[in-house]
Structure 1
Amino acid sequence: MTRPYLPLNALRAFEASARHLSFTRAADELNVTQAAVSHQVKLLEERLGTALFKRLPRGLMITAEGEALLPVMRDAFDRMADMLERLEGGKVRDILNVGAVGTFAVGWLLPRLARFQASHPQIEVRLSTHNNRVDMAIEGLDGAIRFGDGAWHGLEAQRLFAAPLSPLCAPRLAASLETPADLARHSLLRSYRENEWPHWFAAAGVSRPPARTHGVTFDSSLAMMEAAVQGAGVALAPPRMFARQLGSGEIVQPFEIHAALGSYWLTRLKSRPPGFAMQAFETWLFDEVRLAYGEAA
């Protein structure tokens, strides 16, 4: 069966006009005249046998038929733009849009990411960070690395490794800490999860934790750790994510006591099968986890 001819100029004129609800502004975007845009839309309406806009004295009103056509056109043009971008330079490139908790991105992923890029030069990684709250569908992510228990509605989650929490602080502050109870004399920094310090004191066997269990509350462990480096208090954070600071001596871990409150997980939408780039990233990521921690992570 012969496919119908697609009037691309008319479809582009419609899509731009629908976004702006104005032939004039659509013409400015497309670098043509207002009359040319109006003519192209008219040709499309005649071909479809239906009106896509109601012409008003000041602008346009999209019809129900136009509303139905618009998201299809937006998706089609976005996909064409993406493919043209991938073909730029004469080689097919795969785009990988991945999100990660900021702490994981800086403390674990970035030091290793060059190895992925070296083994997959055809994949362009676009990394965005978040504070564990992310809408993968809206942000167009192929995958996202999150911290928690692995139970997120509509997502397939694969456990990477545990990230138990332990107190971390500047060396001069650690000098005054002989037992976990000594923490009562200091400002205890924490994330937005209120149960973290109580869990750690329970693991440490402190039956009566300090009445005031935190100083400043942070939405980012990276910011919290910077405060700890500057001596603002004791942070409760995963040592695995701050190996560089521990190695340099910027911070120390005064107690070998941990509270296990979650793991890092690689997640993706159940409704979106992984493409080649996501499959390659997933394989590489789990290889790196096994290299770092062995099978039991």
Structure 2
Amino acid sequence: MKRTHLPLNALRVYDAAARHLSFTRAADELAVTPAAVGQQIRALEDHLGVVLFRRTSKGLELTGEGEAGLDALREGFLRFEESVAAMQAGQASDRYTFAVPGSFYGEWLGPRLARYQADAPGIAYTVLADENADFTEANLDFAIRLIDGPGELEGMRLTPAKRVCVASPEASDAVRENWIEWPGAALPEDARPSILAGSAGQALTSALAGMGRTVLPLALVERAIERGALTALEEPVESRRAYWLVAPLPQWRSKKVKALVEFLSA
């Protein structure tokens, strides 16, 4: 069944004016001018084909037609408020669904989410491996991507935009001459890769296994360097890309995403 188009903003103004019996006080409540209130009331009267208010020597009064619709209107607004509260409750829930590269999840994000979860028992995570998954189809709250900026999405950079050349300390000098390439790797122009990996995570695994050297985001290998599993073969340098947390504006504004962004940026 086709629903009738309702002038919701005008009805909201009508409710405020009926409660105060004053366009001025209604305007104060709604943060608009009294003239704007008057315009909305006149437009609503034209739409409905009835007169809702009349001016008397005692001030503003509701007409019989104006009084007739108030109870149902206010019940409707109450239902609207309950509906909005229900939707916000879902956004403020303790379940996160997100997409992130597996390697970055293990080396950087996972330990931080564990601390976040420890401070807020009951939080649950659903993790997808495809960071480029469609937000709507996958019902994502956010995604983490190795990119040079958020583009049309809202976002926050999680890590410095730096890269470093690494290899396993167990690898021989000869093996260290083998380059491991992956899409987006900033290898030297004269590098001749002996391994073509499909992702930064596969390149990291290959380097940890002692199969050669590669260039990876600093944030992805910092922990491995600290624990001695990898050796930095040179000082980190500036990079075009970094790991970003990104989301469409509605998800970005949700309470639970705001809370997590605040925690990760602290």
Q: Normalised by the shorter chain, which TM-score bucket?
A: 0.5 to 0.7
Q: 1:253 maps to which residue?
A: 232
The answer on 1:96 being equivalent to 2:87 is no
- Structure number with greater Rg is 2
1:130-176, Cα deviation, whole Å (9 max, x unpaired): 3x4232221111111111111433x1122222241111101144756
Q: CA deviation at 1:260?
A: 0.9
Aligned to 1:197: 187
**201, 220, 230: which one aligns with 2:199:** 220
1:276 alignment partner, one of 233, 255, 258: 255
Q: Residues 144 and 107 of structure 1: is their aligned pair in 2 closer, same or farther, counting only changes over 3 Å?
A: same
SS in 2 for 1:152: coil
Q: 1:192 to 1:265 in 2, by over 3 A?
A: same
8 Å contact kept, 2:95–2:123: yes
| 1:139 aligned onto 2:130 | no
Answering whether residue 128 of structure 2 is matched by residue 149 of structure 1, we say no
- Maintained 8 Å contact 1:169/1:234: yes
Shift of 1:249: 1.9
Aligned-residue sequence identity (percent) comes to 24
Please tell me the residue identity of whatever aligns with 1:190: E
1:43-54 superposed matches below 5 A: none
**Superposed displacement of residue 234, structure 1:** 0.6
Q: Secondary structure at the match of 2:156?
A: strand
Match of 1:106 in 2: 106
In structure 1, C-alpha distance between the alignment counterparts of 2:226 and 2:251, rounded to whole Å? 40
The aligned residue for residue 40 of structure 1 is none
Mean alpha-carbon deviation: is it higher for 136-145 or for 221-230?
A: 221-230
Residues 26-58 of structure 1 deviation map (CA, whole Å, 9 limit, x = unaligned): xxxxxxxxxxxxxxxxxxxxxxxxxxxxxxxxx
Q: TM-score, normalised by structure 2?
A: 0.58
1:188 maps to 179
C-alpha change, 1:246 and 1:174, in structure 2 (3 Å) is: farther
Where structure 1 has 5 or more consecutive residues not aligned to the other structure, the ranges are 1-81, 87-91, 178-182, 199-208, 288-297
C-alpha distance in 2, partners of 1:174/1:110?
A: 32
TM-score norm. by structure 1 comes to: 0.53
**Structure 2 partner of 1:165:** 163
Shift of 1:227: 1.2
Q: Report the secondary structure of 1:147's partner residue.
A: strand
**SS of alignment partner, residue 253 of structure 2:** coil
1:94 and 1:192 map into 2 onto residues whose CA distance is 35
* Structure 2 portions without partners, runs of 5+: 1-85
- 3-state secondary structure, aligned to 1:285: helix
Measured in 1, the distance between the counterparts of 2:98 and 2:200 equals 20
1:125 alignment counterpart: 125
**How far apart, CA to CA, are the structure 1 residues paired with 2:252 and 2:109?**
23
Size of the aligned set, in residue pairs, is 178
Maintained 8 Å contact 1:164/1:258: yes
Structure 1 residue 271: deviation in Å?
4.6
